[in-house]
Chain A
Amino acid sequence: MTSTLSNKQSLVLAVEPQAGRRKLSTAKAMQEAISQRMARDESVFVMGEDVGAYGGIFSSTTGLLDRFGPERIRDTPISESAFIGLGIGAAVEGMRPIVELMFADFFGVCMDQIYNHMAKIHYESGGNVRVPMVLMMAAGGGYSDGAQHSQCLWGTFAHLPGMKVVVPSNPYDAKGLMTAAIESDDPVVFVFHKGVMGLGWMAKNDRSVGAVPEDEYVVPIGKARVAREGTDVTIVTISLSVHHSLDVAEKLASEGISVEVIDLRSLVPLDRETIVRSVSKTGRLIVVDEDYQSFGLSGEVIAVVAEHDPTLLKRVSRVCVPDVPIPYAHELEYAVLPTPARIEAAVRDAVAK
């Protein structure tokens, strides 16, 4: 196994570094993480559809081809099963591939490679063979791309054992989590919501641009972030829904409603301790998730608290996509997405009782 331990020691810090003043979009923060790791570790390379000259259809790899060339930034044909398998093979031979699936929705054509091979080789080899691979993909709706290009699906990957599942909400976390994902000796599914990338052609929340340290650093995978402290109600959420939840929390603060917002940052490992600690304080839990409601993250988070101590919960609810395909029509799509209006209604309902 190619090791980058000498780098790792300088990467993992006891506390996460101060953000500093320089600002980047989430997309540029991801690009920088990949670029800095590639510059220091020759075993890292990127592969996928349109990751080269196009720079990733949601700008995850912009500029990397110019810097590293086509040998290390490899465009592939539309052949997900083949190139994900190729990534797995490279990983077990000691490389650290970053493979882009483009849309999370496309997992259907390559799931055998993902969950039967990438996720299980470590287990089936008795821990002798590692798969240090990053599988990154775009997720989420809100821009009328229809039922096959708007799903989140992170809960589906998290349900299957053997993969870490990371979902950043902002530039700082995106850079630190991408660095951690590349450095991980386990397969990491890195899901980025298109709405947090800071792209000009999508609705842009100011939280998609933020301060990012210039040096390499790691945000540890499996550690949630208290994005806002509060005392009346806990919102546990992830990705773009963090932005909406923080917007709602700011609005309701002026009415004296104090909302704590937990950004999980990863589904696997799930930071159960931070969830329980927050709900112990507030007694009211709302899970906001843009993934489908049933059999997913929202139910899992509620189960974490219920199994710990069901008497903690005075109120519990969830704001998710009801179990329907994501509509194309704008009005219908926004009727199912976890919008700020739906989150606000859930908070008012929680504190009213």
Chain B
Amino acid sequence: MTDVLFPVMSEADGATGVIVTWFVDSGDEVTPTTLIAEVAVDKVDAEVYPPTSGVITLLVEESTQTRQGAVIAQVT
């Protein structure tokens, strides 16, 4: 099982952001080239790709305030 982390986008300690959009659902097959999410911290957006291939399970809902570095999904 591999964790997918909320990317670190701000130098501020404990900075939080939101998942703007999940482009996949739990149970979907993903690879490292699958765009799985778009996240935002302060108005800056970033794309998230999984570190490995497998079946994804989403752990955080869209629009929920989430700490940078937190686990947002798992790939098995």
A residues at B contact (CB < 8 Å): 21-25, 28, 59, 62, 198-201, 204, 209
Name the contact of A24 in the complex, choosing from B18, B35, B40, B45 (C-beta under 8 A).
Answer: B35
B43 touches A209 (CB 8 A): no
CA distance A250 to B18 in the complex (A): 29
B18 touches A23 (CB 8 A): no
B residues 36-72 in Cβ contact with A at 8 Å: 38, 40, 43, 45
Interchain nearest-CB distance for B3 vs A (Å): 22
CA distance A199 to B40 in the complex (A): 10
B residues at A contact (CB < 8 Å): 18, 20-21, 23-24, 28, 34-35, 38, 40, 43, 45
Please list the 8 inter-chain residue pairs (A to B) with the smallest Cβ-Cβ separation, ordered nearest first. A200-B20, A23-B23, A200-B40, A209-B21, A25-B21, A198-B21, A201-B43, A200-B18
Question: 7 A–B contact pairs at CB < 8 A?
Answer: A21-B28, A22-B23, A22-B34, A22-B35, A24-B35, A28-B35, A198-B20
B23 touches A24 (CB 8 A): yes
Question: Could you say which residues of chain B place their CB within 8 Å of the CB of A22?
Answer: 23, 34-35
In the complex, which residue of chain A has the Cβ closest to the Cβ of B39?
Answer: A200
CA distance A200 to B37 in the complex (A): 12
Question: Could you say which residues of chain B place their CB within 8 Å of the CB of A28?
Answer: 35
B24 touches A200 (CB 8 A): no
Question: Could you say which residues of chain B place their CB within 8 Å of the CB of A24?
Answer: 23, 35
CA distance A23 to B35 in the complex (A): 8
In the complex, which residue of chain B has the Cβ closest to the Cβ of A208?
Answer: B21
In the complex, which residue of chain B has the Cβ closest to the Cβ of A200?
Answer: B20
Interchain nearest-CB distance for B30 vs A (Å): 10
In the complex, which residue of chain B has the Cβ closest to the Cβ of A201?
Answer: B43
CA distance A165 to B30 in the complex (A): 37
CA distance A62 to B24 in the complex (A): 21
User: Contacts A200-B18, A200-B45 hold; do A23 and B38 have CB atoms under 8 A apart?
Assistant: no
Question: Could you say which residues of chain A place their CB within 8 Å of the CB of B23?
Answer: 22-25, 209
Question: Could you say which residues of chain B place their CB within 8 Å of the CB of A198?
Answer: 20-21
User: Contacts A200-B40, A200-B45, A201-B43 hold; do A23 and B24 have CB atoms under 8 A apart?
Assistant: yes
CA distance A26 to B1 in the complex (A): 32
A25 touches B24 (CB 8 A): no
CA distance A12 to B54 in the complex (A): 34
CA distance A34 to B40 in the complex (A): 24
Interchain nearest-CB distance for A263 vs B (Å): 22
Instruction: Given contact pairs A23-B24, A25-B38, enumerate 20 new A-B contacts (beta carbons under 8 Å).
Output: A21-B28, A22-B23, A22-B34, A22-B35, A23-B23, A24-B23, A24-B35, A25-B21, A25-B23, A28-B35, A59-B45, A62-B45, A198-B20, A200-B20, A200-B21, A200-B38, A200-B40, A201-B43, A209-B21, A209-B23
Q: Which of A25, A200, A201, A209 has the most CB of B within 10 A?
A: A200
CA distance A59 to B40 in the complex (A): 13
CA distance A204 to B21 in the complex (A): 9
CA distance A59 to B23 in the complex (A): 17
Interchain nearest-CB distance for A345 vs B (Å): 29
Question: Could you say which residues of chain B place their CB within 8 Å of the CB of A200?
Answer: 18, 20-21, 38, 40, 45
Question: Could you say which residues of chain B place their CB within 8 Å of the CB of A62?
Answer: 45
In the complex, which residue of chain B has the Cβ closest to the Cβ of A59?
Answer: B45
Question: Could you say which residues of chain B place their CB within 8 Å of the CB of A201?
Answer: 40, 43
CA distance A24 to B47 in the complex (A): 11
CA distance A28 to B23 in the complex (A): 11
Interchain nearest-CB distance for A327 vs B (Å): 25
